[in-house]
Amino acid sequence: MRKMLFALGIAMALVAVTAMSASAMRPDHADKKRVMVPDEDRFSPFAITIHAGGTVQWQNNDTDNHTVVSDDAFNTAGHQGFDMILGANGGTLKLTFTHPGTFVYYCRFHAALDAFNQPTAPGPDGGIQGSDGNFGTPMSGVITVLP
């Protein structure tokens, strides 16, 4: 009987440890946010805030390819040198941010950085001129990662 109780105790402890590690691997409380590219050259919303451990998914609902590029000059949230294609017609990208900081990004097809690391619109060479005569705003966004 005593042996059986000991075995039962071990089994219960194993169940408890398994349950604890499963919940640690599956942080259901972590932020999961989405940035959409509508059928035009912009990220929506422009700015989002998550907590460390959270995930952001980009989805491109435009008929053109776009990119998510983050320049190390102002990226303090990790994923240094990030430069990925966000494919047309539903393409997705997902990033998990493990520590606080800012992830400033742009689309290299529809924005560029000037000599001072300021995003600029593509202008007459690559931009599409609107009826107001402007060549749009640089396609960019920012993710703020809080502790």
107-126 residues in contact with Cu ion (CB under 5 A) are 107, 109-110
**Rounded to the nearest whole angstrom, what is the least distance from the CB of residue 28 to Cu ion in the complex?**
33
Binding mask 74-113 for Cu ion (x = CB under 5 A): ---------------------------------x-xx---
Which of 141, 78, 140 is CA-nearest to residue 110? 140
Handedness of CA 57, 61, 63, 64 (dihedral sign): negative
- Distance, in Å, from the CA atom of 50 to the CA atom of 27, rounded to the nearest integer, reads 14
Number of residues that bind Cu ion (CB under 5 A): 5
Residue closer to Cu ion, measured from CB, 27 or 123: 123
Question: Residue with structure tokens 């931009």?
Answer: 127
**Rounded to the nearest whole angstrom, what is the least distance from the CB of residue 42 to Cu ion in the complex?**
8
Which of 147, 44, 41, 31 is CA-nearest to residue 96? 31
Would you call 8 helix, strand, or coil by DSSP? helix
Residue closer to Cu ion, measured from CB, 53 or 87: 87
Q: Interface residues with Cu ion (CB under 5 A)?
A: 66, 107, 109-110, 139
